[in-house]
Amino acid sequence: MKQLRKISLLFMSIAMVLVIAGCGAQSKANIATTAKETKTINWGVKADTKLFGLMNIKTGEIQGFDIDIAKAVTKKILGKDGKANFVQVTSKTRIPLLKNGNIDAIIATMSISKAREKQVDFSNSYFAAGQAILVKRTSSIKSVKDLNKDGMVVLGVKGSTSVINMKKYAPKAEVLELDDYAQALTALKSGQGDALTTDNGILYGMVKENSDFAVVGGTFTHEPYGIAIDKGQGEFKNEVNKALAEMRADGSYEKLLNKWFGDIPGFSVKEASQQ
Ligand code: GLU
């Protein structure tokens, strides 16, 4: 009899665990549905990255290529009165903010990588970036190889693939990790490092306002950007991919690429659009 009670108790606890687990899975809202109900998509975007997502302090608006893509994708999915709501993220905070449901998607200079694919899903690529370095124009550093020496200090941003890649491309250099790109650029300008490393497009954005710095040596990685979406949101991911494909087909994608990158010396819009 005692044995029987023990067994039935065991079954009851297993059943309870299953019910709780089931509730947990259900409590994650279907973003494709909630976006249509609220007529809003909540996008995690950079606000410190010129050309991709930068806060305009005069208007309080965030502007850039990622922002324009997010706005266009929102309209394609939700129609004319669909609203793109922007939440600021950094390279380090973007995945946690997505995982805890604060944002519906990340469009923030985020490279598709195997490691990240364990946590999130990605849309098809919308920008073919590659890592490069930024140095003072007068610097003797001409490529990433010149950084592979004891005593070299390379500046980067926490949570970026760029700082991880340094272990491979310049293992002897010390990597100093800052919280965001505004801080990393300030550190470079004040001489706290010999170079700053991240994607070429981001670095060109920095050069635009700091002409005594230059991007040197070309790109040494291939790291296309994708829109990150939480796992289990396949319907929303399909909608995003469909919107991106429509933008490529109707010319609006190319228009935006040219708007932000068309006049940048040394930057190939054609290469950036490759999938
Ligand atoms: N694309 C790289 C990454 O996803 C560097 C840019 C960034 O920090 O967002 O990590």
Q: Is the pLDDT of residue 17 over 80?
A: no
Virtual torsion, Cα 153, 158, 162, 168, nearest 10 deg = 60
Asked if residue 118 and residue 37 are part of one domain, the reply reads yes
Asked if residue 117 and residue 93 are part of one domain, the reply reads yes
Give residue 1 CA to ligand 1 midpoint distance, Å. Answer: 62
Last residue of some domain: 216, 234, 249?
Answer: 216
Among the listed residues 140, 130, 131, the one whose alpha carbon sits nearest the alpha carbon of residue 194 = 140
Asked if residue 157 and residue 233 are part of one domain, the reply reads no
Give residue 160 CA to ligand 1 midpoint distance, Å. Answer: 4
Asked if residue 187 and residue 199 are part of one domain, the reply reads yes
Q: Using a 6 Å cutoff on CB, does residue 197 contact ligand 1?
A: no
60 is a domain residue: yes
Which whole-number Å values give the CA distances from 51 to 33, 116, 229, 258, 273, in the listed order? Answer: 31, 24, 22, 11, 15
23 is a domain residue: no
Asked if residue 44 and residue 123 are part of one domain, the reply reads yes
- CATH code of the domain in which 64 resides: 3.40.190.10
Query: How far is CA 271 from its chain centroid?
Result: 19
Last residue of some domain: 216, 233, 248?
Answer: 216
Q: What is the pLDDT of residues 36-82, one digit of tens each?
A: 999 999 999 999 999 999 999 999 999 999 999 999 999 999 999 99
6 is a domain residue: no
Asked if residue 123 and residue 169 are part of one domain, the reply reads no
Q: What is the pLDDT of residues 120-160, one digit of tens each?
A: 999 999 999 999 999 999 999 999 999 999 999 999 999 99
Separation of alpha carbons 188 and 193, rounded Å:
5
Nearest atom in ligand 1 to 225's CA: 1
Q: What is the pLDDT of residues 246-258, one digit of tens each?
A: 999 999 999 999 9
* Mean pLDDT for all residues in the chain: 93
Phi/psi of residue 107, nearest 5 degrees: -130, 90
1 is a domain residue: no
Q: Using a 6 Å cutoff on CB, does residue 199 contact ligand 1?
A: yes
Asked if residue 185 and residue 161 are part of one domain, the reply reads yes
| Enclosing domain of residue 155 | 131-216
Q: Domain total for the chain?
A: 2
Asked if residue 36 and residue 68 are part of one domain, the reply reads yes
Separation of alpha carbons 240 and 234, rounded Å:
10
Asked if residue 99 and residue 88 are part of one domain, the reply reads yes
pTM over 0.75: yes
Asked if residue 96 and residue 57 are part of one domain, the reply reads yes
Strand partners, 174: 153
Q: Is the pLDDT of residue 25 over 50?
A: no
Asked if residue 35 and residue 121 are part of one domain, the reply reads yes
Q: Is the pLDDT of residue 223 over 80?
A: yes
Burial of 254 (0-12, 13-18, 19+ CB in 10 A): middle
The answer to whether residues 82 and 41 touch, using CB atoms and an 8 Å cutoff, is yes
Nearest atom in ligand 1 to 108's CA: 9
Asked if residue 239 and residue 103 are part of one domain, the reply reads yes
Give residue 13 CA to ligand 1 midpoint distance, Å. Answer: 45
212 is a domain residue: yes
25 is a domain residue: no
| DSSP states along 4-56 | HHHHHHHHHHHHHHHHHHHHHHHHS--HHHHHHHHTEEEEEE-SEETTTEEEE
